[in-house]
Amino acid sequence: MIEEPQGNAGPVLAIDGLRKTFGALVATDGVTLRINQGELHALIGPNGAGKSTLITQICGELRPDSGSIRFDGRDVTRLKAHLRARLGLGRTFQITQLCQDFTALENVLLSIETRQGGSFDMLSNPRRKAALVTQARDRLAEVGLGQQAERRVATLGHGERRQLEIAVALARRPKLLLLDEPMAGLGPEESAAMTRLLDALKGQYAILLVEHDMDAVFALADRISVLVYGRIIFTGTVEEIRSNPEVRAAYLGEKRTC
């Protein structure tokens, strides 16, 4: 048997034979998937295909029935979600989990503090606070919110909140970013801004992107996997996906967006 390379040389994420059922429903049906270092890998498929269920198993909020998940060369299949986050698995949520009464800057600061295992009290040390604020402002600038640092989350637009969620995830220095429908509910201009942001992040972080906006997926993805009824029916480049008859019949021919 040929051993797969481990750690930095191998794929950042290696999923093998993953299976998850909810009663009679097979939500994840033998999924095998590799995400390489620096790759933007899109996961597409109709509503109910099992995309979010796969994401929640990768981040550790849901335990698979069988199969394995290796992250950064380590078997994390049974590791708790917060420990996976500490290893560098970053995610954003379909439902926002930002602190609405805090400013954008405070939300990112809170995320940095969580990563470092500290509490918000550590910000009472002025020198330490200054260093952390600089880091937090860098993350906000990275997602295009440099000018919005002092605004409370409740006053930000929908697209800006999505950008902030990504800044909060980046503050934890992820090796892999899991993005579940970052463009859901955004207007055309906000979606275009999100596409530009993901394009800027591409290559710096490995990204698993679940997204229905096929224009964005085709513009961004290095490779795309198509999930239908819990099974990956095809993985390939944009060109391979576009020209695959099975994919067209199962997904692309059906609808371009959901």
Q: Which residue ranges make up the site for ligand ADP (CB under 6 A)?
A: 22, 25, 27, 45, 47-53
The nearer residue to Mg ion, 51 or 84, going by C-beta atoms, is: 51
Shortest distance in whole angstroms from residue 183 CB to Mg ion: 13
71 or 251: CB nearest ligand ADP:
251
56/148 with CB nearer ligand ADP: 56
3-class SS of residue 114: helix
CA dist 191 and 213 (Å) reads 9
Question: Strands 40-44, 223-228: parallel, antiparallel or unpaired by DSSP?
Answer: parallel
Nearer to Mg ion, 51 or 139 (CB): 51
Tokens 């993985």 correspond to what residue?
A: 235
Measured distance CA(155)–CA(33) in Å, rounded? 39
Q: Which residues contact 240 (CB under 8 A, 6 or more apart)?
A: 234
Kindly state whether residue 52 participates in binding Mg ion, applying the rule CB under 5 A: yes
Question: What are the distances in angstroms from CA 6 to CA 36, 67, 117?
Answer: 12, 18, 27
- Residue 236: phi, psi to the nearest 5? -170, 180
Compute CA 4 distance to the chain's CA centroid, rounded to the nearest angstrom: 24
Cβ of residue 185: shortest distance to Mg ion, in angstroms?
13
Shortest Cβ 95–ligand ADP spacing (Å): 12
**Residues in 115-154 that interact with Mg ion by CB under 5 A:** none
Q: Which does 163 bind (CB under 5 to 8 A by kind): ligand ADP, Mg ion, none?
A: none
Minimum distance from residue 158 beta carbon to ligand ADP (Å): 20
57 binds Mg ion (CB under 5 A): no
Using CB under 5 A as the binding rule, whether residue 111 contacts Mg ion is answered as: no
Q: Determine the Cα–Cα distance for residues 204 and 77; give it in Å rounded to an integer.
A: 25
- Taking CB under 5 A as the binding criterion, the range among 51-59, 115-123, 191-199, 222-230 that sits at the site for Mg ion is 51-59
Which window, 1-9, 43-51, 119-127, 231-239, contacts Mg ion (CB under 5 A)? 43-51
Nearer to Mg ion, 44 or 206 (CB): 44
Contact window for Mg ion (CB under 5 A) among 26-34, 50-58, 200-208, 231-239:
50-58
Distance CA(209)–CA(191), nearest Å, equals 14
Whole-angstrom distance, CA of residue 117 vs CA of residue 195 = 32
Please choose, from the candidates 134, 96, 91, 94, the residue with its C-alpha nearest in 3D space to the C-alpha of residue 112.
134
Query: Which residue ranges make up the site for Mg ion (CB under 5 A)?
Result: 51-52
